[in-house]
Amino acid sequence: MRELVAEHHVRVNDLVAPLFVREGIDEPRPIASLPGVVQHTSTSLRAEVAALAELGVRAVILFGVPASKDATGSGAYDPAGIVQVALRDLRDDLGDDVVVMADLCVDEYTDHGHCGIVAADGTVDNDATLEIYARAALAQAEAGAQVVAPSGMMDGQVAVIREALDSAGFADVAVMAYAAKFASALYGPFRDAVDVSIAGGGDRKGYQQDFRNAREAQFEIELDVAEGADIVMVKPALAYLDVIAEASARVDVPLAAYHVSGEYAMIHAAAERGWIDGDAVALEHLTAIKRAGADIVLTYFARWFAESVANGRIAS
């Protein structure tokens, strides 16, 4: 009866699995602050995506960890860059059976850890960065990405990327914009996963959103929709359920939410100490994100959830 009258459900098809692929390693490397998550080799990534597809997880998003970094993040747009290689491999393996998304930012690839080109005064040059994003979008599309996901929160990024893709004949490649990405303290494990530290102990408050502002978030989301975003995203998820709920009522495009590394890691840390039932809390969190109005949830729990459904531990 409870299942019959339940108002909201999480489905395997709602989930996107974030995956890390690292250049120059021979075997997967566990990420200490993200239990159960690894930096994949190109080979292990292919096996993981195939296994996810068998479980019913039909969308993944790739983050690259290059062997070397530079001031412009050239690995993000190098045709031989680690993510571009991985994209070609996955499309060769699976064709259109899995939606292959690529994070479109340069912080994983820059030696200073910022999401763009750093000017002489230490600030991020928005317009110079947009040129890099357009190059990265084309490299990802040419490698086979069905969705590019600009996460740098640069002003005008969606319009520039959409124009670059359309002009090069990639009108069918979707743009999933990190439209309301907050300057959150919950990204620490992710930065471990991609080996990123911001030079000089800096932060990204100059271009990511103030966690105290909700109206500004809606304004940013509406700008990205107007610029041609096919999907908009709120990141993080749990601390911003109000933002998700309002965006769901305001926009007509699909709405994604990123259940981020810190949210995932906190569940594991508390469960390891026996303070909570980790599986129950994970399901509660994912359901809360869906209940708030997200159509798509990016989560490190994607494989666990799909396995739990397959094993009958969670009702599908």
CATH number at residue 145: 3.20.20.70
pLDDT at 111: 81
pLDDT on residue 202:
61
Among the listed residues 69, 181, 205, 290, the single catalytic one is 181
Single out the residue of 16, 18, 15, 58 nearest to residue 38, CA to CA: 18
How many Å apart are CA 273 and CA 269, to the nearest integer?
A: 7
> Which residues lie across from 256 on neighbouring strands?
233, 296
pTM exceeding the 0.75 threshold for the entire prediction = yes
Neighbouring-strand partners of residue 65:
22
Note the pLDDT of residue 4.
86
Residue 69 bears catalytic tag? no
Residue type, 47: A
Neighbours of 314 (CB within 10 A): 19
Q: Which class for 94: exposed (0-12), middle (13-18), buried (19 or more C-beta within 10 A)?
A: middle
Query: From the centroid of its chain, how far is CA 309?
Result: 23
Instruction: Specify the pairing of strand 255-259 against strand 117-118.
Output: unpaired
Does 204 reside within a domain?
A: yes
- Whether residue 54 is contained in a domain is answered as yes
Instruction: Name residue, tokens 């030079």.
Output: 199
Parallel, antiparallel or unpaired: strands 117-118 and 99-104: unpaired
Q: What is the pLDDT, as a whole number, of residue 307?
A: 97
Classify residue 210: in a domain, yes or no: yes
pLDDT at 199 (0 to 100):
61
* Angstrom distance (rounded) from CA 25 to CA 39: 9
pLDDT digits (tens, 9 = 90+) for 56-66: 999 999 999 99
> pLDDT digit of tens for each residue in the chain (316 aa)?
988 899 999 999 999 999 999 999 999 999 999 999 999 999 999 999 999 999 999 999 999 999 888 888 989 999 999 999 999 999 999 999 999 999 998 888 888 877 888 888 878 899 999 999 999 999 999 999 999 999 988 999 999 999 999 999 999 999 999 999 999 999 989 888 887 667 655 677 777 889 999 999 999 999 999 999 999 999 999 999 999 999 999 999 999 999 999 999 999 999 999 999 999 999 999 999 999 999 999 999 999 999 999 999 998 6
Of the listed 69, 205, 235, 290, which one is catalytic? 235
CA triplet 22, 17, 135: central angle to 5 degrees?
55
Q: Is 115 a member of any domain?
A: yes
Q: Which residues pair with 100 in a beta bridge?
A: 60
Instruction: Please check whether residue 315 lies inside any domain of the structure.
Output: no
290 is catalytic: no
Q: pLDDT of 298-314, one tens digit each?
A: 999 999 999 999 999 99
Domain count, the chain: 1
d(CA 260, CA 285): 11
The pLDDT score that the predictor gives to residue 3 is 85
In a domain, 236, yes or no: yes
Q: Which domain, by its residues, includes 291?
A: 2-310
- Residues 158 and 230: their CA atoms lie apart, in Å, by 10
The string of DSSP letters for 207-245 reads TSBPTT-SHHHHHHHHHHHHTT-SEEEEESSGGGHHHHH
Is 316 contained in some domain? no
Query: Is 131 domain-assigned?
Result: yes
